[in-house]
Amino acid sequence: MARRIEIYDTTLRDGMQREGISISVDEKVQLALRLDRLGVHYIEGGFPGSNPKDMEFYRKMADRKLRTAKLVAFGMTHKRGKRPHQDPLLKELAKVEAPVVTIVGKGWKLHTRKVLRVGLEENLRMIEDSIRYLVRRGKEVFYDAEHFFDGYKDDPEYSLKTLQAAVAGGAARLVLCDTNGATLPWEAAEIVRQVAAAVPVPLGIHAHNDSDCAVALSLMAVEAGARQVQGTINGYGERCGNADLVSVIPALQLKMGYRVLTEKRLRQLTEVSRFVSEVVNVSPEPHQPYVGENAFAHKGGLHVSAALKDARTFEHVDPALVGNQQRILVSELAGRATIQKKAAEMGIDLGDDSRAVSRLLEKLKEREHRGYHYEAAEASLELFLRRELGLHRPLVKLDNFRIIVQKRKSAVISEAKIVLRSEEGGEPPIAFAEGNGPVNALDIALRKLLKKSFTHLADDLERIRLVNYKVRILDEHKGTGAVTRVLLDSHDGQDSWGTIGVSENIIEASWEALVDSIEYGLYKRNRL
């Protein structure tokens, strides 16, 4: 049977040291429960005694029952010049309702002398006595050997003594930390092999990503004998972050044959990655391996054709195994297979109409040449296909619009006037609106018109919201006459979609993307 590898998640402690991340106690509880459902083996929640938030977290977790994970509290060796029972932080660790405690200690002479400012022998006593104090109070104790690899390269004999002190105190795991992220994977593997032969306690690995090697280093440490991998979801952490468990877990299980999670839980990985990013308010990285939106996206025509014949040609694993999916991108690099596949995904059956496919492909490439970028605007792509095939009934039929921007004493106000084409010779629908910018004014005026002309759509229009507005200048050398690309992201409370507009006039480009946004939102709600 394949060897089991323990996953120790420190997102709630080490991950929170990333700049810009700060979450509430309730959000920490929410994340801990989600990590437990994923099936990680240990969840490190924080440093009780160091701050009120972490104290409150452990109090709230005392009322929660974890199904698969053990809750871990984090701390450090007792202060110099004190005994363990005199150290308030150690006493707090002994009382906290977490079955496991991880104690960090110094594994590098440089830190022992210059940071702790204690003698080398006293450092060994602090490690051993602190661990023994907690073990005698019923805790399972893991020892994090901080800066271990740097220390081992400096003086392997002393670094091993720090581990032996932890073993003497009763540590259940010895975790070798590449705290500076300075060690290369093959260096770490050799050191892990040497340490595994010298100590009787299972080893763990805790890698930082300063050299962009944290995942590779963790995998090689496992091959060299480590039984536990510490890391964070999405690689969050101080400086360049920690080993990304979202990459570590599937690599261990799908590529290296170790037992980590059940297959059912592994399929939750993409959802968990995005859930965590949502809670901590960090945008998901679309190119993140395994779980990113673009991790299994194909753009080049030859790549798409091959991937559609056999996904293994351009996909290193089946995306469904980690809860992700294949995406076919439509661009100027697209081929016939791309168009047919994308149309099928959108419920458009092109059948065997090769002439229609060729016409769509030619028109698409011409539009991409003008500046359209459908990879980020699939709603506009679907509307484009439906218009070209005569399958779309437009709701907005513009006669003209006008924008006036006025600088007043304390603000700049934009006023929009929109006139739609009249039906059967009647009075043309007209609306005026003010907004904090031209696009906002156009949006308000257009919704006024549509609600008045199509009263049954009022509730649907209220649900559609613009949530992002991006502008890119495509040919900067033309200065103020350059072509502008506008991308809008919209949401209706359930789904999100992107639309695009391109013009030498930024307002016209914005109008195009705005109309697509509203028409697509109504179409998806079966209102067109």
> 385 or 241, which is more confident?
241
Q: How many CB atoms lie within 10 A of CB 468?
A: 11
Question: pLDDT grade, residue 29 (50/70/90)?
Answer: very high
pLDDT value for 478: 63
Q: Which of 377-391, 435-449, 463-477 has the lowest mean pLDDT?
A: 463-477
Strand pairing report for 465-473 and 398-407: unpaired
Question: pLDDT grade, residue 302 (50/70/90)?
Answer: low
Burial status of residue 305 (CB atoms within 10 A of its CB: 0-12, 13-18, 19 or more)? middle
pLDDT value for 303: 61
Whether 309 has a pLDDT exceeding 70, the answer reads no
Question: pLDDT grade, residue 152 (50/70/90)?
Answer: very high
Instruction: For the chain, report the end-to-end CA distance as a whole number of angstroms.
Output: 57
> 447 or 363, which is more confident?
447
Average pLDDT score over residue span 495-510: 92
Whether 298 has a pLDDT exceeding 80, the answer reads no
pLDDT value for 306: 67
Whether 263 has a pLDDT exceeding 90, the answer reads yes
Q: Which CATH superfamily is domain 6-261 in?
A: Aldolase class I (3.20.20.70)
- 375 vs 498: CA distance, rounded Å: 9
Give me the amino acid identity at 225: G
Domain boundaries, the chain: 6-261, 409-453
Q: Which of 70-84, 205-219, 418-432, 468-482 has the lowest mean pLDDT?
A: 468-482
Whether 31 has a pLDDT exceeding 90, the answer reads yes
Q: How many CB atoms lie within 10 A of CB 517?
A: 27
- 93 vs 352: CA distance, rounded Å: 69
Q: Is the separation of the CB atoms in 248 and 281 below 8 Å?
A: no
Whether 333 has a pLDDT exceeding 60, the answer reads no
Cα 392 from chain centre: 35
Whether 273 has a pLDDT exceeding 70, the answer reads yes
Q: Which of 205-209, 241-245, 261-265, 321-325 has the lowest mean pLDDT?
A: 321-325
pLDDT value for 343: 79
Place of tokens 């709603």: 379
Give me the amino acid identity at 51: N
- 181 vs 187: CA distance, rounded Å: 12
Average pLDDT score over residue span 154-167: 97
pLDDT value for 295: 86
Question: pLDDT grade, residue 225 (50/70/90)?
Answer: very high
Q: Which of 123-127, 375-379, 497-501 has the lowest mean pLDDT?
A: 375-379
Whether 115 has a pLDDT exceeding 90, the answer reads no
Tokens representing residue 18 in the block:
């990333």
pLDDT value for 335: 60
